[in-house]
């Protein structure tokens, strides 16, 4: 059994900083090799006592069974607090409600509610299922009707690719909050000013739930650029220059990735951020190193402490 205590961290006496809370996203494995990688990563990161760990849900519900199995195993075999992703795509309300009730029966009380990508692929027109939840706000309301779940939703500092404007996108976030969302997790970004400008706009609209910055450590620049293109996140020129010429040099690329991610998260913390969500891509080493730089330390009893950084 992988153990991890959810005991809150204490602020470092040396820095006087408040404790930093972290959470991690994983995706369900497709085969035996990927399963080994996932659970090795969970075992590596669990001693840092994340506030929660989430498990993604494939397009069109394509990983529904694997997501459910992964979340249930996390709940059964670890002391972590798992959150299950759930989308509206390609399912009736009854089918989605059945999944929600199954999570409730399994003791899962945290769901990440997402509209989901079109069945026909990113960049194509989204068509709600005629008998399903049309949008994430509808899904949030449906989840809350079934039980007193903690519901996290997505937020887009550079707007969702399908939104007409950032203001319109914040309207969508407001609808999700009004429906009962208790936390938002942002799409990844590489410029921290983008996040803070967005946060100012969100707060000005009266949205006061936690808005966790989502961080994607860039171990593979081409892959990260592809993700950014699909999600509407910008890739700054300085980041391109940092990875330039390293396509065939994975060791140096890894060092650069660590430096870039460390700069980003330490700047967030220095500017007052106390909750950070990591998109791990089921790889633990770089995320663990960043958490170490933030001052998180596992102890022998599994309870981490914050130290000077």
- Known catalytic residues are 25
- Backbone angles phi and psi of 151, in degrees to 5: -125, 120
Pure H helices in the chain: 32-45, 64-77, 93-105, 136-146, 166-178, 192-204, 221-231, 237-243, 250-270, 285-293
Return the residue matching tokens 């913390």: 269
Q: How far does Cα 56 stand from its chain's mean position?
A: 9
Do residues 285 and 250 lie in contact, with contact meaning Cβ atoms separated by under 8 Å?
A: no
Do residues 78 and 107 lie in contact, with contact meaning Cβ atoms separated by under 8 Å?
A: no
The DSSP letter of residue 2 is: B
Report residue 124 as tokens. Answer: 């194509």
Burial of 279 (0-12, 13-18, 19+ CB in 10 A): buried
Residues paired with residue 155 on neighbouring β-strands, in sequence order = 186
């Amino acid at each position: 059994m992988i153990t991890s205590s959810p005991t809150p961290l204490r602020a470092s006496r040396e820095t006087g900083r408040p404790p930093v809370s972290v959470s991690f996203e994983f995706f369900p494995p497709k085969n035996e090799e990927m399963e080994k990688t996932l659970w090795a990563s969970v075992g590596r990161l669990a001693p840092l006592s994340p506030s929660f760990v989430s498990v993604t849900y494939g397009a069109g519900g394509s990983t529904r069974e694997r997501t459910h199995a992964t979340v249930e195993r996390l709940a059964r075999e670890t002391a972590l607090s798992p959150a299950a992703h759930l989308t509206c795509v390609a399912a009736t309300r009854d089918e989605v409600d059945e999944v929600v009730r199954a999570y409730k029966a399994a003791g899962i009380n945290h769901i990440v509610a997402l509209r989901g990508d079109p069945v026909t692929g990113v960049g194509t027109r989204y068509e709600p299922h005629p008998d399903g939840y049309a949008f994430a706000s509808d899904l949030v309301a449906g989840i809350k009707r079934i039980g007193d779940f903690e519901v996290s939703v997505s937020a887009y500092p550079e707007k969702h690719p399908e939104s007409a404007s950032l203001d319109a996108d914040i309207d969508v976030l407001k609808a999700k909050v009004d429906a009962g969302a208790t936390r938002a997790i942002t799409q990844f970004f590489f410029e921290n000013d983008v996040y803070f400008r967005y946060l100012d706009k969100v707060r000005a609209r009266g949205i006061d739930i936690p808005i966790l910055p989502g961080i994607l450590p860039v171990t593979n620049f081409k892959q990260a650029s592809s993700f950014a293109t699909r999600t509407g996140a910008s890739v700054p020129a300085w980041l391109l220059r940092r990875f330039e010429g390293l396509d065939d040099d994975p060791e140096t690329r890894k060092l650069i990735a660590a430096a870039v991610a460390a700069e980003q998260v330490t700047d967030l913390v220095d500017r007052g951020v106390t909750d950070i969500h990591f998109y791990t891509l089921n790889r633990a080493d770089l995320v663990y190193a960043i958490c170490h730089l933030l001052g998180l330390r596992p102890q022998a009893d599994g309870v981490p402490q914050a130290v000077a950084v």
